[in-house]
Structure 1
Amino acid sequence: MPPNEDDSDPRTVVYNGVAVPTTAPEEGRDYRSEFEAGTSGELRREVRRGDDVVVVGGGRGITTVVGARMTRSDGSVTTFEANSEMLETLRRTVRVNRVANHVTLEHAAVGPISEQAESVFGPGDGERVAPSALPSCDVLELDCEGSEVAVLEGMNCRPRVVIVETHEPLGVPPGDVAPILEARGYEITNRTPAGMHGELTVLTAVRQQGGSGSTP
């Protein structure tokens, strides 16, 4: 589908190889190849063609687009975003990057919403979804600004791969997240620094052979 006039707004910026149409000018930020590099890099390594991917915390849509590109047209991405204004940016992002046909956007928060998340992304004015209601998927990516533990403890799905951006400044260090994943039958295969100053950590966890899950 060709982009409409809004999609071709000259204020579009590029984050980690993904074009993001902005709702307001962003002076001096026409290109940030390092933005979301930790989660995007892990998605590029772990997502296979035909995978079903779930993203919790859509933000500007960078990881949604990366996941959709990696699944090709044979897979799908379902993204949960709690804030309505951010959801509109996300919707435009998937449209301008031509992946909308296999992306589903849910205006919803999974688990609790932290004050930090609302201060950065705006009020969580979407539906509330219990972690236990997350759909089955092959790859789950969490970037939920401090709600990672609640989501991991409450979810019933068993993806092949779980990618979690942990937020130590918000009281959720990787040392709190890794044991939950390991107790659920996952092996931590990678730890990647993230954030503007390396203050965050992206954990990649792969379900161990013989563990239960949505993918044999």
Structure 2
Amino acid sequence: MSSNEGGSDPRTVVYNGVAVPTTAPEEGRDYRPGFEAGTSGELRREVRRGDDVVVVGGGRGITTVVAARLTRSDGSVTTFEANSEMLETLRRTVQVNQVADYVTLEHAAVGPVSEQAESMFGPGDGERLEPSALPACDVLELDCEGSELEVLSGMDCRPRVVVVETHEPLGVPPEDVTPVLEELGYEITNRTPAGMHDELTVLTAVRRADGGT
């Protein structure tokens, strides 16, 4: 980790085992092992070597790196991030963690971008994609700050596993997401608290053999 002795370059922060460079120091801390623990933990359980993974809402890149480490060069990770500044952070994250060769970054928002998301992460200035444009994949991770229902309802792909961070504070509680996943042919296999104060819930859903019929 750099110490920023020169005062011009902010140091690297380690989030849940993933180095994120050029992130401004936060109250003197530079190691946050619990950040994104809920989603990252589910990916660590579900992603297999050779999987194709899609991440909607890349953020700082923690879950993108986790997925890439698991699928390795036999698979791929495609990450969609709506905000250009966050995309640059994400790009540096995958480079410094040496997974850039099998990660594709797309400057795009899948589905609507909420006002809350823009207030937290900046304007969604990337391309706007319909959920039906999501590519086929083995594992889909959604961290799209309140747009979970629109993405799930509009997507055509049917991954083996869907990991969704639900945002009750933004009006999308897990109780609303669960029946949508079940209607799509998935079984909820795990519910994990997330967020700084466990105010969020990560749902893991596995596609049923009958496809929901």
TM range (shorter): over 0.9
| Match in the other structure for 1:193 | 193
| Match in the other structure for 1:161 | 161
Shift of 1:23: 4.3
Shift of 1:73: 1.1
For residues 146 and 133 of structure 1, what CA distance do their matches in structure 2 show?
19
TM-score normalised over the length of structure 1: 0.92
Residue 166 of structure 1 aligns with an amino acid whose one-letter code is T
For residues 161 and 11 of structure 2, what CA distance do their matches in structure 1 show?
35
Residue 137 of structure 2 aligns with an amino acid whose one-letter code is C
For residues 210 and 50 of structure 2, what CA distance do their matches in structure 1 show?
22
Structure 2: give runs of 5+ residues left out of the alignment: 1-8
For residues 44 and 209 of structure 2, what CA distance do their matches in structure 1 show?
22
1:71 aligns with 2:71: yes
| Match in the other structure for 1:58 | 58
Secondary structure (helix, strand or coil) at the match of 1:158 reads coil
- 1:162-203 CA distance string (max 9 Å, x none): 000000000000000000000011000000000000000000
Residue 36 of structure 1 aligns with an amino acid whose one-letter code is E
Shift of 1:10: 6.5
Shift of 1:116: 1.0
Q: In the alignment, is the contact (CA less than 8 A) between 1:189 and 1:204 conserved in 2?
A: yes
For residues 24 and 43 of structure 1, what CA distance do their matches in structure 2 show?
27
For residues 117 and 58 of structure 1, what CA distance do their matches in structure 2 show?
12
Q: In the alignment, is the contact (CA less than 8 A) between 1:54 and 1:139 conserved in 2?
A: yes
For residues 181 and 53 of structure 1, what CA distance do their matches in structure 2 show?
18
TM-score normalised over the length of structure 2: 0.94
| Match in the other structure for 2:205 | 205
- 1:46-92 CA distance string (max 9 Å, x none): 00000000000000000000000000110100000000000000000
For residues 100 and 44 of structure 1, what CA distance do their matches in structure 2 show?
19
Q: In the alignment, is the contact (CA less than 8 A) between 2:10 and 2:25 conserved in 1?
A: no
| Match in the other structure for 1:104 | 104
| Match in the other structure for 1:175 | 175
Q: In the alignment, is the contact (CA less than 8 A) between 2:53 and 2:137 conserved in 1?
A: yes
For residues 23 and 162 of structure 2, what CA distance do their matches in structure 1 show?
31
Report how many residues are paired. 204
- 1:91-135 CA distance string (max 9 Å, x none): 000000000000000000000001111011100000001000000
For residues 29 and 183 of structure 2, what CA distance do their matches in structure 1 show?
41
Residue 194 of structure 1 aligns with an amino acid whose one-letter code is A
| Match in the other structure for 1:31 | 31
| Match in the other structure for 1:6 | none
For residues 122 and 88 of structure 2, what CA distance do their matches in structure 1 show?
12
For residues 198 and 61 of structure 1, what CA distance do their matches in structure 2 show?
21
Residue 93 of structure 2 aligns with an amino acid whose one-letter code is T
For residues 22 and 158 of structure 1, what CA distance do their matches in structure 2 show?
36
For residues 198 and 116 of structure 1, what CA distance do their matches in structure 2 show?
18
Structure 1: give runs of 5+ residues left out of the alignment: 1-8
Between the aligned residues of both structures, percent identity stands at 86
For residues 25 and 31 of structure 2, what CA distance do their matches in structure 1 show?
13
Give the CA RMSD over aligned residues: 1.1
Q: In the alignment, is the contact (CA less than 8 A) between 1:78 and 1:106 conserved in 2?
A: yes
| Match in the other structure for 1:4 | none
1:147 aligns with 2:147: yes
